[in-house]
Amino acid sequence: MKTLVPILGDQLSHGLASLRAADRRTAVVLMAEVAEEASYVPHHKQKLVLVFSAMRHFAEELRRDGWTVDYRRLDGPDAPGSLTAGVEAAVLRHGVSRIVAVRGGEHRVIAAQQGWGRFGVPLTLLEDDRFMVSTAAFEGWAQGRKRLRMEDFYRWQRAETGVLMEAGQPLGGQWNFDKDNRKSLPKGMPVPAPPRFAPDAITQEVMALVNDRFPTNFGTLQQFNWPVTRAEALVALERFVADRLVHFGDYQDALVEGEATLFHSLVSTSINLGLLSPRECIDAAVAALETGAPLNAVEGFVRQILGWRDYVRGIYLREGPDYVHRNALGATRPLPEFYWTGGSGMRCFDAAFEQTRDLAYAHHIQRLMVLGNFALLAGVDPHALHLWFLIVYADAYEWVEAPNVIGMSQYADGGLLGSKPYVAGGAYLSRMGNHCGSCRYKVKEKAGPDACPFNYLYWDFLARHEADLSKNQRLWTVYDGWRRFSPERQAEIRADAERFLATVC
Ligand code: FAD
Ligand code: DLZ
């Protein structure tokens, strides 16, 4: 029985369920670079290079392993325009008698895959079992709960998997060590550089293709340094565990001028593509406890993957396609132009922007507390911000990006993910980082044209949403602070915010 096995660009795992279900002697693997996937949003150039290069390398590896691979290049003859067109043509071309595929990551692709049954041969869509939790298990966890909080999910996962558990209790007597993980980086402390992956001939060929076909897409390619094979991804993971994990916890929330990566792992692109499994990343970090990695670092890293990653996927699948359109706070401001050009004048913002443009990467705190925080304070339309985040990062796929943007960062789901909006003024940014020293604005000034915009935008946001948000117990103290300002001071803050926003949006 000849089987067609379509493999998507983020399904680059040798243990993929559809490969396990097929026989390499009779199967044809279909991989296709298609215009539809390359342009459903105008991806950062580095993301396009990463996905296509990783796809081409993976196809070569499959062939070496004895699989027949029908690989369709974007610039090749008969390039299909969409995944669906590619599958339809391949069914005819190879005379297959069934299609076996793994369900895609996002609603748009799943809906397209469900239509593949109309091509006259039986279709089997398998669960993507490369996650820590199946969709059914997530549903079982979520059913009947009043609130779906990450911390509850994470503790359940720790108990289920036994990761960092000892005799049924969390290792070290605590579920998380967040309070230890908020240090700013001491001046002069060296940060080990991540490994370099020089673009090989395949990657260089793809770079030329992307420059030719997508010349106006956002981002630059000069500093492209993403692992494009499993072998490279393993090196990235090993080097993170050996060199940077030790301080991952301590400086997890730090923001440092000239340090794009700090002690973060840079493994998201590899896990999301399937080059690494979440479990092996977790295991590598846990094993480092034996060689002296501190528990606050290991637990902090494990929580991001065992907790956050599977949690946001579960929320995304459960909430359905309309989740990306939620707008609980009714924010309508267009995305400021400086999200595309930089030059905001706010150094923390511009630093995050510049590395986003040049590396297709910003670490979590830059995404949440700088780029996301600014948009939330400014009242930017969450859908516009969602599209921006989907476009600009090399690790961006809707299933992981949307809950982080719509839920965690913008509170646009009305508190499904977070118990309160993640907002902060300049004092937080100054405490966690060193950008303020070289900023044209003054973080200590609270009013007037030189004051840090995060200062007055913070209060303006709270004032705008006082009717709703002041009911939230976690914000009572903050609102007490707002109410202690004189009416004149409040009016001055609001006028500063209005003046600033009128110039940028
Ligand atoms: P590390 O800080 O080293 O963390 C280790 C790993 O944990 C990551 O590689 C990732 O796999 C996982 N992880 C950490 N935080 C999260 C999280 N909140 N949700 C899911 N997984 C997490 N992550 C993406 O993979 N794709 C996205 O498009 C994306 N968009 C985001 C948008 C916003 C507004 C925010 C606040 C976060 C977003 N994240 C996204 C989560 C997180 O910022 C990135 O996973 C992380 O910065 C990737 O860098 P790293 O590999 O160095 O991560
Ligand atoms: C992201 C991406 C891009 C840019 N291009 C392709 C492609 O040409 N062919 C393909 O099979 N997959 C691609 N992908 C990954 C898909 O968009 C991804 O499978 C869905 O977003 C589901 O997560």
Ligand 2 pocket member 38 (CB < 6 A):
yes
**Complete DSSP assignment for 102-164:** EPPSSHHHHHHHHGGGGGSS-EEEE--TTSSS-HHHHHHHHTT-S---HHHHHHHHHHHH-TT
| Atom number in ligand 2 closest to CA 32 | 9
Strands 165-166 and 169-170: antiparallel
- Give pLDDT, residue 179: 87
Query: Which CATH architecture does the domain made up of 135-319 adopt?
Result: Alpha Horseshoe (1.25)
Kindly report, as residue ranges, where domains of CATH 1.10.579.10 are found in the chain: 338-504
CATH topology of domain 3-126: Rossmann fold (3.40.50)
| Atom number in ligand 1 closest to CA 396 | 28
Query: What CA–CA distance (Å, rounded) separates 51 from 73?
Result: 12
- Look-up of token digits 């793809």: 206
Query: What CA–CA distance (Å, rounded) separates 401 from 314?
Result: 13
pLDDT band at residue 1 under the 50/70/90 scheme: confident
Kindly report, as residue ranges, where domains of CATH 1.25.40.80 are found in the chain: 135-319
pLDDT digits (tens, 9 = 90+) for 164-222: 999 999 999 999 998 888 899 999 999 999 999 999 999 999 999 999 999 999 999 99
Q: Ligand 2: which of 5, 7, 8 to mutate, most ligand atoms within 8 Å of CB?
A: 8
CATH topology of domain 338-504: DNA Cyclobutane Dipyrimidine Photolyase, subunit A; domain 3 (1.10.579)
Structure tokens at 495: 């006028």
**Complete DSSP assignment for 325-352:** G--TT---BPPPTHHHH---S-HHHHHH
Query: Is the pLDDT confidence value at 247 over 80?
Result: yes
Kindly report, as residue ranges, where domains of CATH 3.40.50.620 are found in the chain: 3-126
Quick one: DSSP state of residue 183? P
Strands 68-72 and 27-32: parallel
- Give pLDDT, residue 178: 86
- Give pLDDT, residue 269: 98
The set of residues, in sequence order, having a beta carbon less than 8 Å from that of 185 and lying 6+ positions away, is 191, 251, 254, 256, 259, 262, 434
Q: Sign of the C-alpha dihedral, residues 377, 379, 380, 386? A: positive
pLDDT digits (tens, 9 = 90+) for 5-51: 999 999 999 999 999 999 999 999 999 999 999 999 999 999 999 99
| Atom number in ligand 2 closest to CA 11 | 19
Closest Cα to atom 29 of ligand 1? 401
Ligand 1 pocket member 33 (CB < 6 A):
no
Q: Please tell me whether residue 452 adopts helix, strand or coil conformation.
A: coil
Q: 272 C-alpha vs ligand 2 centroid, how far in Å?
A: 11
| Atom number in ligand 1 closest to CA 271 | 11
Relative to the alpha carbon of 388, which ligand is closest?
A: 1
pLDDT digits (tens, 9 = 90+) for 71-95: 999 999 989 999 999 999 999 999 9
pLDDT digits (tens, 9 = 90+) for 111-169: 999 999 999 999 999 999 999 999 999 999 999 999 999 999 999 999 999 999 999 99
* Mean pLDDT to the nearest integer, 276-305: 98
Closest Cα to atom 11 of ligand 2? 8
Ligand 2 pocket member 128 (CB < 6 A):
no
- Give pLDDT, residue 330: 98
Element (H, E) at 408: none
pLDDT digits (tens, 9 = 90+) for 323-339: 999 999 999 999 999 99
> Would you state the torsion angle of the CA atoms of residues 311, 314, 320, 325, taken in this order, to the nearest 10 degrees?
10
Q: 285 C-alpha vs ligand 2 centroid, how far in Å?
A: 29
Do residues 226 and 394 make contact, with C-beta atoms less than 8 angstroms apart? Answer: yes
Query: What CA–CA distance (Å, rounded) separates 156 from 307?
Result: 9
pTM metric for this prediction: 0.98
72, β-bridge pairs? 32
Strands 98-102 and 123-126: parallel
Average predicted confidence (pLDDT) for the chain: 97
| Atom number in ligand 1 closest to CA 364 | 43
